Amino acid sequence: MPERLTIQDIARLAGVSKATVSRVLNHKPDVDRQTRQHVLQIMDEHAFVPSITASGLAGGRRGMIGILVPALTWHFIPEVVQGAAEVIEQSAYELLLYSIAPGENRKAVLDRILDTKLTAGLLSVAPGAFVERLAQWYDEGFPVVLIDDQHVPSDTPGISVDNRRGALAAVRHLMGLGHRRIAYMQGPLQYQCSQERYEGYQQAIAEAGLSMNPAYVVEGDFSVASGFTCASELMTLDGERPTAIFAANDHMAWGVLEFAQEYGLSVPEDIAVVGFDDTPPSQYKQPPLTTVRQPFQEMGKRAAELLLWLIDLSRNSADERRRPPAFAPPSPIRGYTPPLHIQLETSLVVRQSCGAHQVTSINSR
């Protein structure tokens, strides 16, 4: 690993004084626009990350809250970040975005975040393989909140949605429309949300007194292509094929719609379709997709509120932060379940793909 650059290195490369670099880092107005842009360009070219002590960000100046996200192309990332930003903007902190480029060394990203000491706490969206390292940070006293973690919940604070109830509401709705042969297109089994949504599907089937048909449960990978493939498998079954498909995310549901269009099937007359997520394009599909809405923006807000509370608490008593004897979060935080796991409600957005022609939103509870 190359040695990390200092402010002095940046000053030498930019041909300016160390004081000028410091003024740029601290957003001082007494640096002309051309010099500021030149210094920032040098920092960007060399992937320079300032130390909190070297850049003068400590003391009375605004601190930083980090938010670590997977690829920015993930459909829900903008909503989560927007929600977090709305809360952070009202605080004494600023939001610092860390993203992971394809093929980037994940351990190096985490080491860089912690080593620079630039952030007072971290929000991590869908942390995946990071989760064990982040849990270790939290145990050592660094404030961390996980958003939409896909592992079995740990003691690390986190924000998620009630996937089981969301799936239950979707399948109940299909049954209310008269469907009894309902297939389930699940996501990768290593994801916690896939298992929870399957549990909701199973509960709805059991409530209706129906027997599970193993042929009606197929596994995709959350992609449109896998939805198309799974739809082909379901619609060519020997014997009675399903009259409705509940897909564990919108992308796979879009694949079902593409399969139906290519093979001359009518949705919802030949096959009703329901997804999960309510990503923006779903309302513009033909027909518009019925789906379970995840409150992504609200997840970002609640996570930021929780993290700010943890940071404040950690400054008073690290031991109390780790294991609060009586959890008393600020008033905007509701629905928590110790140890600091907040589970938000989903809602069913009814559109034409399920056979209902009036667009409505139904709380999953």
Q: Output the domain CATH number for residue 308.
A: 3.40.50.2300
Q: Is 29 exposed, middle or buried (0-12, 13-18, 19+ CB in 10 A)?
A: exposed
CA angle 37, 38, 41 (to 5 degrees): 85
User: pLDDT at position 332, please?
Assistant: 47
Report the phi/psi class of residue 156: left, alpha or beta, with left for phi > 0 and alpha for psi in -120 to 50: beta
Domain check: are 228 and 358 in the same one?
yes
Q: Where are the alpha helices (DSSP H) in 89-218?
A: 106-116, 131-139, 163-176, 192-207
User: pLDDT at position 3, please?
Assistant: 58
3-class secondary-structure state, position 250:
helix
From 61, 83, 101, the end of a domain falls on 61
User: pLDDT at position 27, please?
Assistant: 62
Domain check: are 185 and 235 in the same one?
yes
Identity at 146, one-letter amino acid code: L
Q: How many whole angstroms separate alpha carbon 177 and alpha carbon 246?
A: 13
Domain check: are 220 and 110 in the same one?
no
Expressed as residue numbers, the domain containing 333 is 63-160+298-343
3-class secondary-structure state, position 256:
helix
The DSSP bridge partners found for residue 122 are: 66, 144
Q: How many whole angstroms separate alpha carbon 200 and alpha carbon 265?
A: 27
Domain check: are 147 and 86 in the same one?
yes
3-class secondary-structure state, position 122:
strand
Domain check: are 353 and 325 in the same one?
no
Domain check: are 239 and 358 in the same one?
yes
The closest of 335, 171, 154 to 245, measured between CA atoms, is: 171
DSSP letter string, 262-306: HTT--TTTT-EEEEEE--GGGGGSSSPPEEEEP-HHHHHHHHHHH
First to last CA, the chain: 51
Domain check: are 273 and 353 in the same one?
yes
Domain check: are 114 and 183 in the same one?
no
Backbone dihedral angles phi then psi of residue 259, each to the nearest 5 degrees: -60, -45
Domain check: are 187 and 313 in the same one?
no
- Bridge-based pairing of strands 336-337 and 93-99 is unpaired
User: pLDDT at position 309, please?
Assistant: 86
- Contact status, residue 188 vs residue 221, Cβ threshold 8 Å: yes
Domain check: are 92 and 76 in the same one?
yes
Domain check: are 206 and 154 in the same one?
no
Report CA-CA distances (Å) from 212 to 188, 307, 319: 20, 42, 48
Whole-structure pTM value: 0.76
Tokens of 323: 């294991």
The total domain count for the chain is 3
User: pLDDT at position 103, please?
Assistant: 65
- Contact status, residue 255 vs residue 230, Cβ threshold 8 Å: yes
Residues of the chain with pLDDT under 50: 1, 52-62, 317-328, 331-332
